[in-house]
């Protein structure tokens, strides 16, 4: 599997089109998809996603408010809801979850970059390009 740390951050930073991300995600086995969604959920928590990020994330993901991941994100503490979204198992729900969690990461990390990293930072994932190496770095 290609390094999901790089791919997910490239998608959240719009360095790669979502269509490419969906194609990559759909090429994964069900187990790899579940692992990827859990990882993405952890990225969102690390980026300090808040309940207020929900509506904008749903809009960016192109989901209707009645889709299961969109309903979940609007209820309760964000970290708990992110885990529930990552745990959805039907294929169509996993795909919606993927799109939504990428959008949550984009919103939360965008805010973090503006507040804490606007004058530069040492976060490797804030210095990606489309040609980022496939080798692994790990978020901390």
Q: Is residue 16 part of a domain?
A: yes
Model pLDDT, residue 122 = 54
Could you give the count of Cα atoms lying within 13 Å of 63 in the half-sphere of its Cβ?
29
- Domain membership of residue 57 as a residue range: 4-126
Q: Is residue 35 part of a domain?
A: yes
Model pLDDT, residue 71 = 96
Token output for 83: 């885990």
What's the total number of domains in the chain?
1
Q: Is residue 137 part of a domain?
A: no
Model pLDDT, residue 124 = 52
Mean pLDDT per 10-residue run, the chain (140 residues)? 80 91 95 96 93 94 96 90 94 95 94 70 50 40
Residue partners of 62: CB distance under 8 A and separation at least 6: 99
Rounded Cα gap, residues 112 and 62, in angstroms? 23
Angle, vertex CA 42, rays to CA 47 and CA 90, nearest 5: 125
Q: How many helices (H) and strands (E) does the chain have?
A: 7, 0
Model pLDDT, residue 137 = 35
| Chain-centroid distance, C-alpha 140 | 16
Model pLDDT, residue 111 = 86
Could you give the count of Cα atoms lying within 13 Å of 137 in the half-sphere of its Cβ?
15
Q: Is residue 77 part of a domain?
A: yes
Q: Is residue 139 part of a domain?
A: no
Model pLDDT, residue 11 = 93
Q: Is residue 131 part of a domain?
A: no
Q: Is residue 52 part of a domain?
A: yes
Rounded Cα gap, residues 8 and 116, in angstroms? 21
Rounded Cα gap, residues 127 and 95, in angstroms? 27
Q: Is residue 106 part of a domain?
A: yes
Phi, psi at 56, each rounded to 5°: -65, -40
């Amino acid at each position: 599997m290609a390094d999901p740390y790089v791919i997910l951050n490239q998608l959240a930073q719009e360095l790669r089109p979502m269509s490419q991300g969906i194609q990559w995600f759909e090429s994964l086995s069900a187990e790899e998809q579940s692992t990827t969604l859990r990882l993405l959920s952890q990225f969102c928590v690390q980026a300090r996603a808040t309940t207020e990020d929900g509506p904008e994330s749903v809009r960016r993901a192109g989901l209707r408010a009645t889709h299961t991941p969109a309903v979940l994100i609007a209820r309760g503490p964000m970290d708990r809801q992110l885990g529930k979204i990552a745990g959805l198992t039907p294929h169509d729900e996993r795909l919606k979850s993927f799109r939504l969690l990428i959008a949550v990461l984009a919103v939360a990390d965008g805010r973090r970059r503006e507040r804490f990293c606007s004058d530069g930072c040492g976060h490797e994932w804030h210095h990606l390009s489309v040609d980022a190496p496939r080798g692994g770095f790990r978020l901390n």
